[in-house]
Structure 1
Amino acid sequence: MPIEQRNLQKIIREVRSQLGLSQEELAHALGVSFASINRWENGKSSPSKLARAQFDAFCRKMKTQGKLKG
């Protein structure tokens, strides 16, 4: 598994943890399925370019709102 994939898995889990979101809640916020979030966190697949862009935008928004650190 590529290093970037492992880092992404950790990042997704950390974001969910900091925000107190379930996989289903994060999926809803990003407009993807629960199964997608589950697969990303477990290294079964990676987000598409569009989904990755949505995740990055979501994280930026949460940071500007002061809900997410790092």
Structure 2
Amino acid sequence: MTFAEEIKRIRQRSFLSQEAFAKEVNVSFSTVNRWETGKTRPNLMAMKSIKGYCEKNNVGFEQLEELWLSAEQEARE
């Protein structure tokens, strides 16, 4: 599963639109759209917001975190 697919899965498991999820994690609708299409990935602050949302709503975050960390590692290499 890709990062884009995983972020979309988290949003859909919460039965939220991209706009509603964006409000929950304090980003714009277009930002969530770019994440889900694979154009961009969240920065550290956005990942903290997503993690907080997941913890508050009992949604698994581990897979998303692993994908984000591996992508960050690849970007440094």
Q: TM-score range by the shorter chain?
A: 0.7 to 0.9
Name the residue aligned to 1:22: 17
Partners of 1:20 and 1:9 lie apart in 2 by 17
Aligned CA RMSD, in angstroms, stands at 1.8
* 1:33–1:61 Cα change, 3 Å: same
What pairs up with 1:1-70 in 2 under 5 angstroms?
Answer: 6=2, 8-63=3-58, 68=59
Partners of 1:26 and 1:61 lie apart in 2 by 13
Partners of 1:41 and 1:22 lie apart in 2 by 12
Partners of 1:51 and 1:37 lie apart in 2 by 10
State TM-score, norm by structure 1.
0.77
- Deviation of 1:39 (Å): 0.2
Structure 1 runs (4+) greater than 6 angstroms displaced = none
**Structure 2 unaligned blocks of 5 or more:** 62-77
**Structure 1 unaligned blocks of 5 or more:** none
